[in-house]
Amino acid sequence: MSLYAEFLTRIEQKFPEDGAEMAMSEYIVANTHLRKRPFSFEGYEFQRQIVDDLSLNMAVIKCSQVGLSEVQIRKFLSFLKRTSSINGIFSLPNDDMYKRVSQTRIKPLVDDEQIFNQHEASKKPVRSMALYQIDDSFGFITGGKEGDATSINADIMFNDEVDLTDQEILALYGSRLQGSNIKMRQGFSTPTFEGYGIDSMYKASDQHEYLCRCTRCNHWNLPVFTPRFIRIPGLPGDLNDLSEIDNDLAVKLDLENSFVMCEHCGAPLDLGNRPLREWVPRHPGRLSRGYWVRPFATPRLSVRYIVEQLLDYKRKNSLRRWYNTVLGEPYNDANARLTLTEIEAVMKGEGKPDVSSETPVAIGVDVGQTCHVVVASLGLPIPLVFDWLQVPADQLKMTLWDLRKRYNLVAGGMDLNPYAPLAREIHASSKGVIVPIEYSTSPKAAPLTFVKDELDNVTHVSSNRTKIIDDIVGDIRHRRVLFTGYGNKKVIIQTHLQDMVRIELPEQPAKWNKLTGDDHFFHALGYMRHSLRIHEVMRAQEVKDERQMALLFGLVSAVQQNEAGLGFRERIKTPSVLGLG
Ligand SMILES: [Zn+2]
């Protein structure tokens, strides 16, 4: 018997009267209440399948106002009740949300529902804001802290608001299921960026969409907020993007008589008619399960509501939030990610220019199994990146040696990790020109710190990761760097430069997050740029040291010269003159 079947049997054994035949949704209706009346899925029938779905790996994209947070909690608690001796984790992104959800949503449900209070009178269950015992099962509610993600072992895990949660913490949570026979993980979230968090999990899944059949022509529709599906009397025929509706246009619209229509024949869709609606997977064979809950999954959210929200979010200058929360769609705003237009603007041709052996150049290296190397000429007012190399790690030393032979290499930066010994070797053999750089992600990380060994030699530089990436992004946006010589690598470079998004969450430092991890030239460019800064700081330090030396040397010679009857002023120049000679 598979572990999963065994788990289903455990449900059956514990509650033979409901057992595997009683779907979770029916169990919730039969045993829980909302505002003193039995819980009902009326108007939100799409929720049933999500609640009943016991997939071990599931991702749900949700918009707001569709009641999903409410049913997730009921599903979680009912699980604990229906399965003997299991541990569950319900995670929220931060302390505030954790406290609010635990106190205002979970506690009342656990306290008030009879079904969660069938313990023997003498055995008082353990209950607190962070932990709810139901019979012999335990539900841990957490706020996305590292400690929680590494200390509690669990059988089932619900991650709420995946996209607002620190993605590294989220990865840590995964390991909490390792010791379990069940290992169920279900994530729910409002989407944020395309390819990020819940959106990428959904994309990897079988991708269920909630369709609606047209009663007139039988066409199956996936209704979304576009002119194909939305009929608004008074709307100009040439408006293709409904997000362009503004206050001036809105007053001309007859929102009262607007409706969602069949894209095929234009008949109004009967969104609340249950037999017409069905969850349909785009990729039925895939192992992980995905659901995308959009506003027209329920008949309760009108076109008027969506338009009013649009105007409201526009007033707050937050179109992205409207896409994310009201439509439940990911949205890439220009500030969070480099746009193709911004990248194209610095791409000046695939051909390689002639760069003489005297022209100063700088390099940046992203180290991996395949290393990505960028070479920039510094002979112009702004750096011109003219060579883009992808070399296997075992050929990196040779490649860098060739570059040093061919060009006047004055600066370079490379990953200290993952091969620190290689980075140190290159640092030494380049006589300190190519500096190993370690990204620091601590909130208080300095822009640039020289790390020294016990003999006071610089071993590497530790630098604020967000700042390094912000700087290269700023350079690209303001065209303070140009690209050429990329040959057929144009698309690769564009892909890499679009693979990170800048995430800004309340009470957390801004952070660039990878979408797919295909971002190597991005980091190579960042290291190249940062190496210029490192050498600038080192030169400033040298000049300072030289001045001190000069002063010292000057004073010494001034004293000697004074003794010989010559002026102080003239003599102080001597050391630098000597230095040139
Ligand atoms: Zn139709």
CA–CA distance from 94 to each of 139, 491, 516 (Å)?
Answer: 17, 38, 24
Distance 229 CA to ligand 1 centre (A): 11
Structure tokens at 479: 């065209």
CB atoms within 10 A of CB 270: 16
Distance 303 CA to ligand 1 centre (A): 19
Distance 295 CA to ligand 1 centre (A): 20
CB atoms within 10 A of CB 9: 13
**CA dihedral of 8, 14, 17, 18, whole degrees rounded to 10:** -40
Distance 269 CA to ligand 1 centre (A): 8
Phi, psi dihedral angles at 170 (to 5 degrees): -60, -40
Distance 268 CA to ligand 1 centre (A): 8
Distance 42 CA to ligand 1 centre (A): 25
Report pLDDT digits (tens) over 250-307. 999 999 999 999 999 999 999 999 999 999 999 999 999 999 999 999 999 999 999 9
Distance 212 CA to ligand 1 centre (A): 10
Nearest to 135 by CA among 155, 106, 115, 153: 115
Distance 281 CA to ligand 1 centre (A): 21
SS3 389: strand
Provide CB contacts within 8 A for 106, sequence distance 6+. 73, 77, 90, 132, 139, 141
Distance 266 CA to ligand 1 centre (A): 6
Distance 221 CA to ligand 1 centre (A): 8
- The rounded distance, in Å, linking the Cα atoms of 278 and 260 is 17
Contact 262, 219 (CB under 8 A): yes
Distance 259 CA to ligand 1 centre (A): 14
Distance 304 CA to ligand 1 centre (A): 22
Distance 255 CA to ligand 1 centre (A): 22
Distance 223 CA to ligand 1 centre (A): 12
Contact 222, 282 (CB under 8 A): no
- The rounded distance, in Å, linking the Cα atoms of 507 and 30 is 41
Distance 454 CA to ligand 1 centre (A): 77
- The rounded distance, in Å, linking the Cα atoms of 262 and 276 is 12
Distance 263 CA to ligand 1 centre (A): 7
User: Per-block average pLDDT, block size 10, for the chain (581 residues)?
Assistant: 60 51 93 93 97 97 95 96 95 93 96 93 91 96 82 93 87 90 96 89 97 98 97 94 96 96 98 97 96 98 97 91 96 84 95 93 96 95 96 96 95 94 95 96 89 92 95 96 96 93 77 86 97 93 84 68 51 39 30
Distance 511 CA to ligand 1 centre (A): 46
- DSSP structure class, residue 284: T
370: β partners: 392
Distance 257 CA to ligand 1 centre (A): 19
Distance 444 CA to ligand 1 centre (A): 58
Q: Determine the pLDDT at residue 575.
A: 39
What's the gap between Cα 498 and its chain centre? 12
Distance 270 CA to ligand 1 centre (A): 11
Which DSSP string corresponds to 51-82? HH---SEEEEEE-TTS-HHHHHHHHHHHHHHH
Distance 242 CA to ligand 1 centre (A): 21
Q: Determine the pLDDT at residue 144.
A: 79
- pTM of this structure: 0.73
Distance 265 CA to ligand 1 centre (A): 4
Distance 274 CA to ligand 1 centre (A): 17
Distance 211 CA to ligand 1 centre (A): 13
- DSSP structure class, residue 162: G
Contact 105, 158 (CB under 8 A): no
Q: Is the peptide bond before 360 cis (omega within 30 degrees of 0)?
A: no
User: What contacts 24+ positions apart, CB below 8 Å, involve 460-463?
Assistant: 460/416, 460/423, 460/424, 460/427, 460/435, 460/436, 461/413, 461/435, 461/436, 461/437, 461/530, 461/534, 462/437, 462/438, 463/437, 463/438, 463/439, 463/530
Distance 272 CA to ligand 1 centre (A): 16
Distance 296 CA to ligand 1 centre (A): 16
Residue with structure tokens 């019979």?
Answer: 135
Distance 307 CA to ligand 1 centre (A): 24
Distance 542 CA to ligand 1 centre (A): 77
Distance 126 CA to ligand 1 centre (A): 55
Q: Determine the pLDDT at residue 24.
A: 96
Distance 276 CA to ligand 1 centre (A): 12
What's the gap between Cα 148 and its chain centre? 20
What burial class does residue 378 get, using C-beta atoms within 10 Å of its C-beta: 0-12 exposed, 13-18 middle, 19+ buried?
Answer: middle
Q: Report the run of H or E that residue 323 belongs to, with start and end.
A: none
Distance 81 CA to ligand 1 centre (A): 44
Distance 216 CA to ligand 1 centre (A): 5
Nearest to 477 by CA among 316, 345, 331: 345
- DSSP structure class, residue 573: T
Contact 176, 149 (CB under 8 A): yes
Provide CB contacts within 8 A for 326, sequence distance 6+. 63, 64, 295, 306, 309, 310, 313
Distance 323 CA to ligand 1 centre (A): 27
Distance 41 CA to ligand 1 centre (A): 27
Provide CB contacts within 8 A for 88, sequence distance 6+. 76, 79, 80, 137, 138, 139, 140, 154, 155, 156, 157, 158
Distance 262 CA to ligand 1 centre (A): 5
